[in-house]
């Protein structure tokens, strides 16, 4: 259970948290972390570790690269913690959007190599659905969700501008066409948002613009070996959402 009587959970991050150099300190210090990156390189057939550690940032920021890079780094850190702090035993794991794949690997419900290949394909399909520069996402902080939904409606002007994620009462994420998201950011600032900023992503995740990725991604998901208990919950959720898995950044 870890930390005496306290229960802990591990939450794995999603896109937008990537940066050049991520995971290198862990790989240099912990053999298990370096081994995780080596597994990732072998599973994908290219030096993902070099991209994580050296960039360039523009290439790392492409969703087909970002997604496996974040899964690889998350699992490298998770494996490091199991060695460096074995007392930190979570009672649950969860993930923010893409982080759900990392959580499934940490829970031993999904193989690491399978997860890497899935998210690599997922990223390719999502980028094909909306080419780089066409879509965007933004986080709006300090306004209630209803007010932000109204901003999205006003900013759309014939394009897609949708509420993608409710990250809490104080933060809502919008996704859609780049022009509409730019207008939404400007409107949010005009209407009193504490902060409205574009996110470091290359596609409008969790928006209707991602739906073209679903027909190809669904068979890949259903044919992947996921332990049954996790699969039942995971597949059930995928049937309700336009793109795998849940919430963003």
Residue 162 pLDDT more than 90? yes
- Assigned domain for 115 exists: yes
- Burial (Cβ within 10 Å: 0-12, 13-18, ≥19) of residue 168: exposed
> How does residue 244 score in pLDDT terms, banded at 50, 70 and 90?
very low
Residue 249 pLDDT more than 50? no
- Assigned domain for 97 exists: yes
- Tens digit of each residue's pLDDT (9 = 90 or more) over 20-35: 999 999 999 999 999 9
Is 178 in the same domain as 196?
A: yes
Tell me what pLDDT residue 226 has: 81
Is 118 in the same domain as 142?
A: no
Is 141 in the same domain as 182?
A: yes
Task: Provide mean pLDDT across the span 176-201.
Answer: 96
The CATH number of the domain holding residue 121 is 3.40.366.10
Task: Provide mean pLDDT across the span 37-46.
Answer: 98
Give kind and range of the element (H or E) at residue 25.
Answer: helix 24-29
Task: Provide mean pLDDT across the span 163-171.
Answer: 88
Q: Which of 97, 109, 202, 207 is catalytic?
A: 97
Identify the domain containing residue 226 by its residue range.
Answer: 9-129+216-238
Identity of the highest mean pLDDT range in 106-110, 142-146, 174-178:
174-178
Is 96 in the same domain as 43?
A: yes
Is 47 in the same domain as 154?
A: no
Is 118 in the same domain as 139?
A: no
Tell me what pLDDT residue 225 has: 83
165 with 206: CB under 8 angstroms?
Answer: yes
Give kind and range of the element (H or E) at residue 39.
Answer: helix 31-44
- Assigned domain for 245 exists: no
> How does residue 3 score in pLDDT terms, banded at 50, 70 and 90?
low
Catalytic, 206? Answer yes
Task: Answer positive or negative: Cα dihedral of 236, 242, 247, 249.
Answer: positive
- Average pLDDT over the chain, rounded to an integer: 89
Catalytic, 96? Answer no
Task: Provide mean pLDDT across the span 96-123.
Answer: 94
Q: Which of 78, 96, 177, 206 is catalytic?
A: 206
Is 50 in the same domain as 114?
A: yes
Tell me what pLDDT residue 248 has: 33
Reported in sequence order, the residue ranges of the chain that DSSP labels E, i.e. its strands, are: 9-12, 92-95, 135-141, 161-166, 171-177, 195-198
């Amino acid at each position: 259970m870890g930390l005496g009587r306290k229960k802990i959970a591990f939450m794995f991050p999603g896109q937008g948290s990537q940066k050049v150099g991520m995971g290198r300190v862990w790989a240099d210090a912990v053999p298990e972390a370096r081994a995780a990156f080596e597994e990732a390189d072998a599973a994908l057939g290219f030096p993902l570790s070099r991209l994580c550690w050296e960039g360039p940032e523009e290439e790392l920021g492409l969703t087909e690269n970002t997604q496996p890079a974040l899964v690889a780094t998350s699992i490298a850190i998770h494996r490091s913690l199991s060695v460096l702090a074995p007392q930190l035993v979570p009672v649950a794991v969860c993930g923010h959007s893409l982080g759900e794949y990392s959580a499934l690997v940490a829970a031993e419900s999904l193989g690491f190599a399978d997860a890497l290949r899935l998210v690599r394909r997922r990223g390719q399909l999502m980028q094909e659905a909306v080419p780089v520069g066409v879509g965007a996402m933004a986080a709006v902080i300090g306004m209630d969700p209803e007010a932000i939904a109204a901003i999205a409606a006003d900013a759309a002007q014939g394009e897609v501008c949708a509420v993608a994620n409710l990250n809490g009462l104080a933060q809502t994420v919008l996704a859609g066409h780049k022009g509409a998201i730019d207008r939404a950011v400007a409107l949010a600032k005009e209407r009193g948002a504490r902060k409205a900023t574009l996110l470091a992503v290359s596609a409008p995740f969790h928006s209707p613009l991602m739906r073209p990725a679903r027909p190809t991604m669904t068979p890949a998901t259903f044919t992947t070996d996921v332990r049954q208990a996790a699969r039942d919950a995971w597949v059930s959720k995928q049937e309700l959402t336009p793109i795998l898995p849940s919430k963003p950044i």
